[in-house]
Structure 1
Amino acid sequence: MQELDSYVAVGDSFTEGLDDPAPHGGYLGWADRLAAMISSRQRGFRYANLAIRGRLLQAIVEEQVPVAVALKPSLVTFCAGGNDLLMPGADPDAVAEVYEIAVAELRATGAEVVIFTGFDPRHAPVLRSLRGKVAIYNSHLWSVAERYNCKVVDLWSMTVLHDIRAWGPDRLHLAPEGHQRVALRVAELLGHEQEEQWRTPWPVVAEDDWMTQRRQDLKWAREHVVPFITRHLRGASLGDGVVPKRPELLPISSGENN
């Protein structure tokens, strides 16, 4: 098991924790869950989460990466670029170039850096059209990980996340169980395995008929995907006015995630 005394999470809504409501308001998410897992076994452990929903990669690099570098943690998780790829005309090669600059800065501190591939959108209506761009971006991330000796959480290969139950109503953010699966996967990668397993199959349930699924897909695209793209084309974001939920390295108090 790797000894970690401090952890900083960097990213967007995925890392902030949408749609995983915290018991006392705000959001929990896989990063908070992971930090609690590590803290339960590591005395003196401290955790910060700088992630803000809706952030594009360049903003994350400019706003969050310098803070993470200054905090000098032993572990950084860095997941970003997904919002960029959702934008019309996005170039995964160009996005990856910016991503690599950030990884180089984070690794230069001596921190262990864990990065994440994009999800496989094959099972998501509308988003499946982005599958080629995500695959190209992922290939760059694997190369970056090799060059800078980073651990990689391969979200693309996590087939348990292909189930609709892993996702919140907007299908853009994980539901609580989806966040838990990701936290368990990262913990395993770091050698902090838990009794609960991220690979555990979902219970078998009856599926809706084809017509019902198509109606739901159209409703979802109209209510969630179109507004997301429209906001960003206007230069607006869900994260406007939002500040990091945990900007400093602090111990995790008992019962904080309960």
Structure 2
Amino acid sequence: MAGRFVAIGDSFTEGVGDWNATFPNGVRGWADRVAKQLGRQDPEWEYANLAIRSKRLHHVRDEQVDRALALKPTLVSLYAGGNDILELRIDMAALMRSYESMVARIAGAGARPLLFTGFDIPLSPVFEPMKRRNWLYNDHVRRIARTYDAVLVDYWCFEEYSDPGLWDADRLHMSPAGHRNLAAHVLRSLGIDHSLTPRLPDWKEYAGLVAGLRRETAWLGEWVVPMFGRRLRKVTLGDDLQPRWPDPVRPADGLKRLARARSPGRV
């Protein structure tokens, strides 16, 4: 049966890492892939995506929830809090109370919440405190999912994401293969038949201690230092971006074609 799927959150849901100039904001992502499969099941399915990269949980709460519920959705996906977990200091109890308030509002409006745990990304030991926060976050998300009869995609349990090929160069966002694989997990959790098959990339590990140290140093310089620099300056990569699909569209009409119609100059 058709419905209206609205996705809210940060870069995880916007689609960062699944780079594709054909789509709005230059990314595709798991949510677009899920929407396409829903449209194949029933062409009357509609889809909107309000997620924007770098948004913290309070941004999602204040800027996206009302807008999403105004669209009268039947299914709302929510992933938020990952950027908060990366802060130097964070009150996890307050964060999860705010998260639960969003889920309660979604469920109270008659939409089915679709929630995600966070994966323990294999990162440098410098991020170890963030991993402990992630475990706490996951415990709360599982409890909240049970309380509000949400669909839970327990991302933390997906062992294949230990493969570096499922991650983008920044190691924080999924690669195209990672987004495609997650879309298959989401559809399975929703009980939706689909045509997606995992395409795990071939991965050749860097050999030797010296090569590994060089790779780690390059990653810290190219990704980690700039990320924390932006935080100190209070700027984000999403400051000048708008939602990718702010108004409901029908994926059965073709998301690429809809994107070209919205931006005639796009090749």
Asked whether the two chains share a fold, i.e. TM above 0.5, the reply is yes
Deviations 1:90-141 (A, max 9, x none): 23222111101111111111111110111113x2224344211100111111
Say whether the 8 Å CA contact 2:180–2:196 is kept in structure 1: no
| Residue of structure 1 in register with 2:248 after alignment | 249
Partner residue, 1:61: 61
**Percent identity (aligned):** 36
Partner residue, 2:156 = 156
> AA paired with 2:144?
V
- Does 1:18 find its partner at 2:16? yes
Contact 1:187 1:193 in 2 (8 A): yes
For the 8 Å contact 1:4–1:75, the answer to whether it is kept is: no
- CA distance, structure 2, for counterparts of residue 232 and residue 10 of structure 1: 22
User: Which of 225-234 and 33-42 deviates more?
Assistant: 225-234
Residues in 1 aligned to 2:40 and 2:48: alpha-carbon distance in whole angstroms? 16
Give 1:188 deviation, angstroms.
0.3
Question: How do 1:222-237 and structure 2 match up within 5 A?
Answer: 222-237=221-236
Q: How far apart in 1 are the matches of 2:70 and 2:130?
A: 35
Which SS does the other structure have where 2:255 is aligned?
coil
Greater share of residues in helix = 2
1:136 counterpart letter in structure 2:
L
Q: Using a 3 Å threshold, how does the CA distance of structure 1 residues 90 and 203 change in structure 2: closer, same or farther?
A: same
- What residue number does 2:214 align with? 215
Task: Return the alpha-carbon distance in structure 2 between the equivalents of residues 213 and 59 of structure 1.
Answer: 37
Shift of 1:240: 0.5
Equivalent residue number for residue 47 of structure 1: 47
- Give the Cα–Cα distance (whole angstroms) in 2 for the partners of residues 169 and 190 of structure 1: 30
Asked whether the equivalents of residues 116 and 154 of structure 2 are also in contact (C-alpha less than 8 Å), the reply is yes
- The DSSP-based 3-state class of the residue aligned with 2:146 is helix
Structure 1: how far apart are the matches of 2:129 and 2:160? 21
Q: Runs of 5+ in structure 1 lacking a partner? A: none
Moved more, 189-198 or 234-243: 189-198
List aligned pairs for 1:1-150, cutoff 5 A: 3-22=1-20, 24-25=22-23, 26-121=26-121, 123-125=122-124, 126-150=126-150
Deviation, 1:206, is 5.1
TM-score, normalization by structure 2: 0.89
Query: 1:221 offset after TM fit, Å?
Result: 1.6
Aligned partner of residue 47 in structure 1, secondary structure: strand
- Supply the RMSD in Å over aligned alpha carbons: 1.8
- Residue 264 of structure 2 is matched in structure 1 by none
The alignment partner of 1:120 has SS state of: coil
Look up the match of 2:265: none
